[in-house]
Amino acid sequence: MALGSELNLPVVLRHFVEIATELVDARYGALGVLDRSRSRLAEFITVGIDDDGIARIGNLPEGHGILGKLIVDRQPLRLPDLTEHRDSYGFPPNHPPMTSFLGVPIWIRDEVFGNLYLTEKAGGEVFTDVDEELVIGLAAAAGVAIENTRLHERVKEVTVLEDRERIARDLHDTVIQRLFATGLQLQGAARLAQRPEVTGRIQQAVDDLDVTVRHIRSVIFELQPLDVAGRAVRRDVLTVVGEQGRALGFDPVVRFDGPVDAAVDDHVAEHLLNVVREALSNVARHARATRVDLTVIVADDAIELSVTDDGVGLAETEDGQTGHGLRNMRERAQGLGGTFEVAPVDSGPGTRLRWRVPVSA
């Protein structure tokens, strides 16, 4: 009942170890949570050793020796003196002495979640058959409690996803449509304006609304849930931009438009990240820029990367040919059946790079 009343997994696990330790009069207890390969320990929760003692021991166990035997055999193990077992791996420095041992796997349906380890039965005794039966029963209850906790966390995740989808629908069906309507009204008002400066201000407001709509559309795509197997292309692009920002001395302005995460496959995404990295590296090395605008757009089954800087202009090598970086970006685009172009900015200094390829290789 105590285990089943808690819905926070870390609390459930620690509470389980505490109950088991008290139940069989053990001085020390631990719970090793297996990693995805089910061959090593990913987490290790201990009871009976304070934080200073844990710090003195150093690295937590990974599943060697007796702990590893329990991982492999997946059967309860009871020993009067674990140090005398042939699989004993020994203790690290500053580890408290331990002799009597009781280990039990924790099953969740047909899969082992982890193992419970109990040592040092009170009074120097050994763990009994009754102790083992009690801990096996407790481990079964813990498995149910852990599964319930996981289901509860999954329900919370689903609720969050539903809220995200609802917000995305509201933004698309209400906010964007109102912005479009406002833009149309402003364009109508511009035709009635008599003074050129008024017309110019209205047109600037319309342009600002258009940019706002694009930003909202980008937020809508970010709110939509990702395929579990997919990669977060937006996040990866922002990571690369953040890395290159240190070399630039400032943070580029990044914009996304379209279903970047959902539409772009892994192979194309890998090339995209390399082109982003190469483009920003070129700007950092040659352009002496103070601003970079980077846009990633997905439309018509293609992804387009645009990188615009306000630097000194397109740099060339001494023999008049563009450098290796630009050639690599062009070859990547051609290899994917796309296009690549780099040219001066229409007005003012700077360079604009466009890299466009199909979203799927």
pLDDT band at 154 (very low <50, low <70, confident <90, very high): confident
Closest alpha carbon to 98 in 80, 116, 114, 113: 80
pLDDT at 255 over 80: yes
- Range with lowest mean pLDDT among 46-55, 81-90, 301-310: 81-90
Domain ranges in the chain are 9-154, 161-223, 233-358
pLDDT at 317 over 50: no
Check residue 157 and give its pLDDT: 73
CA distances from 220 to 164, 252, 256, 306, 356 (A): 9, 22, 11, 21, 23
pLDDT at 226 over 70: no
Check residue 7 and give its pLDDT: 61
Check residue 166 and give its pLDDT: 77
Instruction: Place domain 9-154 in its CATH homologous superfamily.
Output: GAF domain (3.30.450.40)
For 273-311, write each residue's pLDDT tens digit. Answer: 999 999 999 999 888 999 999 999 998 899 999 999 999
**What is the percent of the chain with per-residue pLDDT over 90, rounded to a whole number?**
29
- Range with lowest mean pLDDT among 129-138, 139-148, 229-238, 342-351: 229-238
pLDDT band at 176 (very low <50, low <70, confident <90, very high): confident
pTM of this structure: 0.47
H/E/C letters for each residue in 201-263?
A: HHHHHHHHHHHHHHHHHHHHHHHCCCCCCCCCHHHHHHHHHHHHHHHHCCCCEEEEECCHHHH
Q: Give the residue with greater pLDDT, 124 vs 230.
A: 124
pLDDT band at 225 (very low <50, low <70, confident <90, very high): low
Check residue 93 and give its pLDDT: 84
Report domain 233-358's class. alpha beta
Taking the C-alpha atoms of residue 52 and residue 17, their distance in angstroms, rounded to an integer, is: 19
Q: Please enumerate in sequence order all residues whose Cβ is within 8 A of that of 291, keeping only pairs 6 or more positions apart, or say none.
A: 250, 252, 253, 309, 310
Please, what is the average pLDDT of the chain? 84
Check residue 1 and give its pLDDT: 62
Pairing relationship of beta strands 339-344 and 351-358 according to DSSP bridges: antiparallel
145 within 8 A of 3, measured Cβ to Cβ: yes
pLDDT at 320 over 50: no
DSSP per position, 17-37: HHHHHHHTTEEEEEEEEE-TT
Check residue 79 and give its pLDDT: 93
Check residue 321 and give its pLDDT: 45
Check residue 231 and give its pLDDT: 58
Taking the C-alpha atoms of residue 264 and residue 270, their distance in angstroms, rounded to an integer, is: 10
Check residue 335 and give its pLDDT: 93
**What is the percent of the chain with per-residue pLDDT over 70, rounded to a whole number?**
92
Q: Please enumerate in sequence order all residues whose Cβ is within 8 A of that of 268, keeping only pairs 6 or more positions apart, or say none.
A: 303, 336, 357, 358, 359, 360, 361
Check residue 352 and give its pLDDT: 94
pLDDT band at 128 (very low <50, low <70, confident <90, very high): very high
For 103-124, write each residue's pLDDT tens digit. Answer: 999 888 888 888 999 999 998 8
Q: Give the residue with greater pLDDT, 157 vs 3.
A: 157
pLDDT band at 228 (very low <50, low <70, confident <90, very high): very low
48 within 8 A of 28, measured Cβ to Cβ: yes
Check residue 77 and give its pLDDT: 93
